Amino acid sequence: MPQSDADKLVLFNLMPWPREEVINTTVRLRGSQFNLRDGRGQPVPYFIRHAREIDPGLIDRQIVHYGNYDPFMEFDIQISQIVPSMGYRTLYIEANQLGNVVTPKSKTEGILENAFWQIALNEDGSLRLVDKDSGVRYDDRVFHN
C-alpha cells in the first residue's frame, strides 16, 4: 500500500507517547461508499456518523455544466487507531469500494463501558460497577433517587 495512488488520510500524534484514540474526521470523495486500508493493506473498521451529498458546483463548475457526474459525498466518520509517539499513521481511501463499516450495538442499552470499567444502571436506580482489570464487581453503588 505505501506506493498507492489512493487518497490518503493521515493521523498525527505530537505527544511523546503512543495514543489510541477514537478519531472524528470527515472524508470527501466522488462515490457513494469507500474502504479504508492501513499501510499493510488490512481493512480498517469505521463508523459513519453522518453522510451527505455535496453540491458538485462547489467542487468544479464544469461538472455541473456537462451534467453527467457521479455524486460527491461527504462522510463524517469515527475510527479507532493507535498512532505512534511523535509520529503519524497513514490510511488509504479507496472510493467506490465496500468498506468495513461498523454498526452500533443495540443490546448495550443502559451500559457505559471503557477499557477499565463497565457501569450499568440497576432497576432501583443504583449503579453496578465492574473493574475489568480485577474482575471485582460493586453492586448498589451511588444510589440515585
Residue 91 belongs to a domain: yes
pTM over 0.75: no
Q: Across the beta sheet with 127-131, what order do the strands follow?
A: 111-113, 117-121, 127-131, 137-141
CB neighbour list of residue 6: distance below 8 Å, 6 or more residues apart:
37, 92, 93, 94
Average pLDDT, the chain: 85
* Residues 36, 12 share a domain: yes
Owning domain of residue 126: 111-140
**Dist. CA 137–CA 145, nearest whole Å:** 22
Residue 118 belongs to a domain: yes
Render pLDDT for 47-90 as a digit per residue (tens, 0 to 9): 999 999 887 666 666 666 666 667 789 999 999 999 999 999 99
CB neighbour list of residue 3: distance below 8 Å, 6 or more residues apart:
none
* Residues 90, 59 share a domain: yes
* Residues 79, 116 share a domain: no
